[in-house]
Copies of this chain bind each other. A is one copy, B any other.
């Protein structure tokens, strides 16, 4: 897969320049590292701040979700590489409106170390920080080791729910609690058809034959649970739903939201073909689907493939999910 870029070394900086140039009403660069994006208009004084961050190459994750009812700031690293802890500390400082800051991000070793370190750094600024980790990828570890799972598209729901709680004026503990509740109620699984190319590497991250797919693959190309011939859409969707529902059963009267997500190159046409099965399975189990999301919400640049994310709702989560939000990539209400 070819890429449109100038030099790999400038990829992320130029990408961020273009992003803030296109949407000055939503985003601004904060500080002088060029790797921290904050809301164009800072949140209300006294609002709990929410930061996220991680490697580049996943738009709209992470940076795209900086906006009202969502994140306050983000630190962005090179493609698939953690930002530095100083950049994360800067994002925390940008997000702080005096009520403390929730660090809400995906469970990747480097990001965890750096966000922890960033917390140590902002202790000097007297900013209170909490942490909620997304670990929603059911293919990445057994249920007994849930805390080892990778964080993938489930982040989108967590950003939305925590962001709504913060916007509603809840305090840091309350926002943290509801973010954790969302993180506990979300499950994802992905399947990849092709690799993306990290600009610095210049070649596909992994090789996969023209007639193969991999089930359970991670968004950086982490190995999945099987690799085999490409299957029909309904079989792929069926197995992905099996895996999600085995991990988090959904039954009569349950209310769930579902995200059918393209990892990048896979076009919406194919997502709709898959969504038929997702809907039939959930409604067949007696559940109601609330605010389904179908599109590109968490990607690996031009990787072909999809992920499904299931969020089981209670009244509180549903209210927060439906609350307004606004950024260049997603708007509710």
Contacts and interface: CB of A to CB of B under 8 A. Distances in A.
Interface of A: 1-7, 11, 14-19, 21-22, 56-57, 59-60, 64, 193-194, 210-211, 213, 230, 232-234, 236, 260, 264-276, 279, 292, 294, 296, 299, 301-302, 304, 306, 331
A270 B5 contact: yes
11 contacts: A2-B193, A4-B193, A5-B232, A6-B234, A18-B275, A19-B272, A59-B267, A59-B269, A265-B304, A266-B302, A269-B301
Given A276-B14, A331-B331, A266 B4 contact: yes
A246 to B, nearest CB: 22
Contact of A267 (B193, B234, B301): B301
Contacts of A260: 22
B272 A14 contact: yes
Contact of A194 (B2, B232, B271): B2
B268 A59 contact: yes
A7 to B, nearest CB: 8
Contacts of A264: 265, 267
A18 B277 CA distance: 9
- Count of identical protomers in the assembly: 2
A-side binding surface: helix, strand, loop or mixed? mixed
B59 A5 contact: no
B2 A213 contact: yes
Contact of A276 (B21, B213, B230, B233): B21
Contacts of A18: 271-276, 279, 294
A4 B306 contact: yes
Contacts of A11: 269, 273
A229 B60 CA distance: 30
A272 B279 CA distance: 34
B267 A6 contact: no
A299 B266 CA distance: 12
B211 A273 contact: no
